[in-house]
């Protein structure tokens, strides 16, 4: 709630209002007023009337807070819940004098920016809430006659890592239609219900017979989640467990025999991953996927990282621990605990600690570098910190140019700025590597940051709800199981525990750490203890997860996966060495680079699918059973001399050349197969490749050059040889084409530290240092400012796409206390 209150702060109202009005294309107001509806319907009506008069006769804009408006179509219903928008803006309509006023509805949402952006789903939810306020206001009988609700609405969201509000506007037409239809549906249902007061026992009896659409992934935010789950757990219906663990209704019939005691085997078309999940739930033991190890976890060059995030700030960090793997087996963990969780120097220190490990890896020749984290939120936190520091560093380089030219250093909006400290070498190394991961996040074969949770899920399938597998400690409980587990007990133990394996703390522990760490009012000793204990838990879970992975055999293709990352990091190394484009954030990449990525992504996706089909039996069977996949198919051996296959695909027919990918003994590539890692491909020899022939006999005749060991009735997975790079004269070789590296806007092999200085035009798009690029941009900004083309002189205001210009290293209102959560709000209301 702290952010919502900061939107009301006088230091932000004028900026937020003028930005919103400017984005809406309205005239610049002559003055700005701040008023409150005092969370009362009558006061809100009075303030709207006064704001309407000020807008029409004085040209003033009014920011209204603490509004309360009757719910749409329920204005006359006693006891109905009112709509409570965070704010609304009243501005004059065009004309002099203004013929009327606009009411622009708004809401403040402390949506966290993950990797510099806010999730589209959250923004949609926010604008739907704004639309409900707009519809309710438009239908309100107390709305001033000359006032109209504007077609657009405003969301105030954090501009960057600091709690500085930014206005985002959107057309509400579609949202308002949807809200209106939904409300009318609910009111009609309420009218048909003819509800009467009920006792708790009567209400319980009513709820007991209502069939709920239960989904363990989406239902946890509902206040009835535990009740519905308890009903399923106590049900005598054998299909209830399928509902409980999240099996979709259309798939339940296929796996019913696994839970109803009949023992009926699932049909061959049932996804192997689904069957494995149900079998694990019933047996209490995990099911191995059959994939051998292809990940880099535990190898020299890996850096294990755990962090404890502060919930009081978007990028706040309580503590971080780092371990560089050098192969000795006795690598120590290095820790840091921070009292000023959201200070810029805290982020600097965290990156310096991480960068020192990266530097040591590169110095020892153990590359490529892999940062191993417990889960994706930890990776997102690190990348978001790097994104923030990169923006601050680029601002610093521009301001250095301003100082050199005798200009005052100003933010993009023309406010006085404070020159931040420079990134040290280690911090810049870490920031650069994390931004490399951010730019490469769409590439499935890149792994500069390794999500350990995702790695573990590729090797085993746990029982219980699939959504529970989103936590590494839950997976670890199954991975370490030697006796059958009760999946519900594991779920409850994880959910009820106060410890978490990733960066985010549980609510209980977060509150304790926050209270102990409050400057001047906390307990420093207790704070240190809590942070150390949180780090200990994360380190223990990570170490045990690595130990589990070490028990798995390696795949023949493990070096191939790491070779792909090595090629890509060679280009990154040149960026870092020449400090050219190494601080370019994903959100600020060149348009031509993003367009060129389309072809690179296609090549990466194809190679990823090919390698996955080769090494992962479960993935290969699932894709082969998918009617939309033409490259893979399931076949059954119906003859041995000669070899005959009954292929369950119309794509693989007479004349098709196919290769055996998976047989009864597992992936064919893990057998007696030759592997050569070439510069442009991974060449495989001694593969069972042959043409299918329809000779009129049952099945299709298949005569591969290398005959595999098969038996009658064996189910195998075949791949299209052309798709997999076959066609060699030998008849048993194929080559998986390696995707090219991303060398656009990056120094070439012949670029040197002096290349740009000696030939600026020839090296403008490859090795131009950030210092030169930012100096040029600084001059451009100064010229535009001198012509009055920038804020605050220009109208409408110019939007700073960079979103990074901190005046100092603190939140604008560091003493703001979030306060208690209002009792009348649900979890969905706060999101």
User: Which of 77, 131, 108, 104 has the alpha carbon at shortest distance from 18?
Assistant: 104
607 contacts: CB under 8 Å, gap ≥ 6:
445, 564, 736, 737, 738, 739
pLDDT of amino acid 111: 75
- Ranking 4-18, 585-599, 690-704 by mean pLDDT, the lowest is 4-18
- Determine the Cα angle at 624 with ends 607 and 254, to 5°: 140
SS3 call for 657: strand
pLDDT of amino acid 811: 45
> Which pLDDT band holds residue 397 (cuts at 50, 70, 90)?
very high
Boundary-marking domain end, from 267, 293, 314? 267
Answer yes or no: do 169 and 206 share one domain. Answer: no
pLDDT of amino acid 206: 66
pLDDT of amino acid 513: 95
- Give residue-wise pLDDT tens across range 526-568: 999 999 999 999 999 999 999 999 999 999 999 999 999 999 9
Map 144-158 to HEC letters. Answer: CCCEEECCEEEEEEE
Answer yes or no: do 354 and 319 share one domain. Answer: yes
Burial of 528 (0-12, 13-18, 19+ CB in 10 A): middle
Answer yes or no: do 586 and 718 share one domain. Answer: no
- Give residue-wise pLDDT tens across range 414-440: 889 999 999 999 999 999 999 999 888
Answer yes or no: do 147 and 230 share one domain. Answer: no
Answer yes or no: do 26 and 157 share one domain. Answer: yes
pLDDT of amino acid 717: 96
- Give residue-wise pLDDT tens across range 377-391: 999 999 999 998 998
- Average pLDDT, integer, range 722-735: 92
Distance, CA of 560 to CA of 648 (rounded, Å):
31
> Which pLDDT band holds residue 488 (cuts at 50, 70, 90)?
very high
Using the predicted structure, report yes or no on whether residue 815 has a pLDDT greater than 80: no
Distance, CA of 117 to CA of 134 (rounded, Å):
26
pLDDT of amino acid 225: 87
Answer yes or no: do 233 and 258 share one domain. Answer: yes
Q: What element of type H or E holds 384? A: helix 376-404
Other C-beta atoms closer than 10 Å to the C-beta of 613 total: 26
Using the predicted structure, report yes or no on whether residue 239 has a pLDDT greater than 70: yes
Boundary-marking domain end, from 684, 718, 737? 737
pLDDT of amino acid 6: 64
Using the predicted structure, report yes or no on whether residue 580 has a pLDDT greater than 90: yes
Answer yes or no: do 583 and 645 share one domain. Answer: no
- Average pLDDT, integer, range 795-815: 60
- Give residue-wise pLDDT tens across range 586-616: 767 777 777 888 889 999 999 999 999 999 9
User: Which of 801, 807, 818, 803 has the alpha carbon at shortest distance from 316?
Assistant: 818
Report how far Cα 111 is from the mean position of its chain's Cα atoms: 13
Residue 297 lies in a domain: no
**Tokens found for residue 219:** 């239902």
Residue 527 lies in a domain: no
Range of the domain at 688: 608-737
pLDDT of amino acid 812: 44
**Tokens found for residue 431:** 């920031």
Distance, CA of 521 to CA of 552 (rounded, Å):
50
Report how far Cα 702 is from the mean position of its chain's Cα atoms: 46
pLDDT of amino acid 379: 95
> Which pLDDT band holds residue 242 (cuts at 50, 70, 90)?
very high
pLDDT of amino acid 816: 47
Listing from the earlier edge strand, what are the strands of the sheet with 302-309?
334-337, 317-324, 302-309, 370-373, 449-451
Residue 37 lies in a domain: yes
Boundary-marking domain end, from 213, 243, 267? 267
- Determine the Cα angle at 733 with ends 729 and 738, to 5°: 115
Calculate the average pLDDT of the chain.
89
Q: State how beta strands 101-108 and 87-92 pair.
A: antiparallel
Answer yes or no: do 107 and 176 share one domain. Answer: yes
Residue 789 lies in a domain: no
- Ranking 159-168, 335-344, 551-560, 657-666 by mean pLDDT, the lowest is 159-168
- Give residue-wise pLDDT tens across range 492-524: 999 889 999 999 999 999 999 999 998 888 999
Q: State how beta strands 681-685 and 734-737 pair.
A: antiparallel
Residue 759 lies in a domain: no
- Give residue-wise pLDDT tens across range 274-316: 999 999 999 999 999 889 999 999 999 999 999 999 988 778 9
pLDDT of amino acid 200: 77
Using the predicted structure, report yes or no on whether residue 807 has a pLDDT greater than 50: no
Residue 19 lies in a domain: yes
Other C-beta atoms closer than 10 Å to the C-beta of 307 total: 27
- Average pLDDT, integer, range 94-114: 82
Using the predicted structure, report yes or no on whether residue 813 has a pLDDT greater than 50: no
Using the predicted structure, report yes or no on whether residue 208 has a pLDDT greater than 50: yes
pLDDT of amino acid 5: 64
State pTM to two decimals.
Answer: 0.88
Using the predicted structure, report yes or no on whether residue 166 has a pLDDT greater than 90: no
> Which pLDDT band holds residue 231 (cuts at 50, 70, 90)?
confident
Tokens 């995707």 belong to which residue?
739
Q: How many domains does the chain have?
A: 4
Answer yes or no: do 568 and 651 share one domain. Answer: no
pLDDT of amino acid 227: 85
Answer yes or no: do 219 and 307 share one domain. Answer: no
- Give residue-wise pLDDT tens across range 43-93: 999 999 999 999 999 999 999 999 999 999 999 888 888 999 999 999 999
Answer yes or no: do 21 and 160 share one domain. Answer: yes
pLDDT of amino acid 78: 84
**Tokens found for residue 11:** 């230091």
pLDDT of amino acid 804: 62
Choose the most confident range, by mean pLDDT, from 128-142, 148-162, 251-265, 726-740.
Answer: 128-142
Answer yes or no: do 56 and 182 share one domain. Answer: yes
Residue 493 lies in a domain: no
Distance, CA of 384 to CA of 437 (rounded, Å):
11
Other C-beta atoms closer than 10 Å to the C-beta of 285 total: 18
Residue 69 lies in a domain: yes
């Amino acid at each position: 709630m702290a952010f919502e209150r900061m939107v009301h702060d006088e230091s932000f109202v004028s900026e937020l209002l003028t930005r919103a009005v400017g984005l809406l294309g309205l005239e610049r107001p002559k003055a700005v007023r701040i008023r409150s509806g005092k969370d009362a319907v009558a006061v809100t009506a009075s303030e709207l009337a006064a704001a309407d008069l000020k807008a029409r006769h004085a040209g003033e804009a009014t920011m209204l807070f603490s509004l309360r408006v009757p719910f749409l179509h329920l204005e006359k219903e006693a006891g109905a819940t009112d709509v409570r928008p965070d704010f609304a803006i009243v501005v004059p309509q065009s004309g002099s004098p203004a013929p009327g006023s606009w009411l622009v509805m708004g809401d403040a949402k402390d949506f966290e920016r993950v990797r510099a952006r806010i999730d589209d789903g959250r923004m949609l939810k926010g604008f739907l809430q704004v639309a409900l306020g707009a519809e309710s206001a438009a239908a309100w009988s107390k709305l001033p006659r000359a006032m109209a609700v504007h077609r657009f609405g405003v969301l105030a969201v954090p501009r960057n890592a600091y709690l500085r509000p930014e206005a985002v506007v959107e057309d509400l037409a579609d949202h308002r239609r949807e809200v209106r239809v939904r409300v009318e549906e609910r009111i009609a249902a309420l009218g048909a219900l003819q509800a009467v007061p009920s006792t708790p026992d009567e209400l319980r009896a009513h709820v007991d017979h209502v069939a709920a659409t239960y989904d363990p992934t989406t239902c946890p935010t509902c206040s009835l989640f535990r009740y519905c789950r308890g009903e399923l757990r106590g049900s005598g219906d054998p299909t209830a467990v399928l509902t409980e663990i999240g099996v979709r209704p259309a798939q339940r019939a296929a796996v019913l025999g696994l839970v109803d005691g009949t023992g009926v085997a699932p049909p061959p078309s049932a996804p192997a991953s689904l069957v494995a999940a149900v079998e694990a739930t019933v047996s209490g033991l995990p099911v191995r996927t059959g994939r051998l190890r292809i990940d880099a976890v535990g190898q020299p060059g890996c850096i294990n990282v755990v962090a404890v995030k502060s919930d009081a700030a978007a990028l706040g960090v309580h503590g971080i621990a780092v371990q560089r793997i050098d192969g000795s087996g006795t690598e120590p963990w290095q820790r840091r605990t921070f009292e000023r969780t959201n200070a810029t120097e805290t982020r600097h220190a965290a990156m310096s600690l991480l960068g020192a490990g990266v530097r040591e890896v590169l110095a020892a020749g153990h590359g490529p570098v892999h940062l191993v984290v417990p889960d994706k939120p930890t990776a997102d936190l690190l990348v978001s910190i790097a994104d923030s520091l990169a923006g601050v560093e680029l601002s610093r380089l521009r301001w250095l140019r301003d100082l050199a030219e005798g200009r005052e250093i100003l933010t993009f909006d023309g406010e006085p700025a404070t020159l931040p400290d420079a990134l040290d070498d280690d911090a810049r190394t870490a920031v650069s590597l994390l931004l490399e991961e951010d730019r490469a996040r769409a590439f499935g074969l890149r792994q500069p940051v390794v999500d350990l949770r995702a790695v573990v899920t590729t090797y085993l399938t746990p029982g219980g709800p699939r959504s529970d597998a989103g936590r590494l400690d839950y997976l670890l409980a199954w991975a370490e199981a030697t006796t059958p587990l009760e999946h519900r007990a594991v779920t409850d133990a994880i959910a009820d525990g106060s410890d978490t394996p990733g960066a985010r703390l549980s609510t209980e522990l977060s509150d304790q750490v926050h209270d102990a760490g409050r400057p001047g009012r906390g307990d420093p000793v207790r704070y240190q203890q809590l942070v150390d204990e949180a780090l200990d838990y994360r380190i223990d879970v990570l170490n045990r997860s690595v130990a589990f992975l070490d028990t798995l055999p390696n795949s023949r293709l493990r070096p191939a996966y790491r070779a792909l990352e090595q090629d890509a990091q060679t280009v990154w190394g040149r960026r870092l060495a020449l400090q050219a484009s190494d601080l370019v954030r994903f959100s600020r990449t060149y348009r031509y680079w993003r367009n060129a990525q389309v072809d690179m992504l296609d090549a990466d996706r194809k190679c990823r699918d090919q390698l996955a089909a080769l090494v992962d039996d479960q993935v290969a069977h699932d894709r082969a059973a998918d009617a939309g996949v033409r490259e893979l198919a399931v076949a059954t051996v119906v003859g041995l001399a000669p070899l005959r296959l009954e292929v369950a695909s119309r794509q693989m027919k007479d004349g098709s050349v196919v290769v055996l990918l998976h047989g009864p003994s597992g992936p064919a590539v893990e057998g007696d197969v030759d592997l050569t890692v070439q510069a442009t491909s991974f060449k495989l020899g001694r593969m069972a490749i042959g043409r299918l022939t329809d000779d009129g006999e049952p099945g299709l005749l298949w005569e591969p050059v290398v005959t595999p060991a098969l038996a009658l009735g064996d189910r195998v997975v075949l791949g299209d040889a052309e798709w997999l790079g076959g066609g060699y004269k030998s008849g048993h070789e194929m080559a998986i084409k390696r995707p090219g590296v991303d060398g656009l806007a990056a120094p070439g092999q012949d670029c040197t530290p002096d290349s740009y200085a000696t030939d600026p035009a020839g090296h403008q798009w490859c090795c131009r240092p950030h210092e030169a690029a930012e100096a040029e941009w600084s001059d451009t900004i100064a010229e535009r400012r001198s012509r009055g083309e920038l804020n605050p002189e220009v109208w409408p205001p110019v939007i700073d796409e960079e979103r990074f210009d901190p005046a100092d290293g603190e939140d604008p209102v560091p003493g703001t206390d979030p306060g208690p959560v209002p009792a009348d709000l649900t979890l969905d209301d706060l999101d």
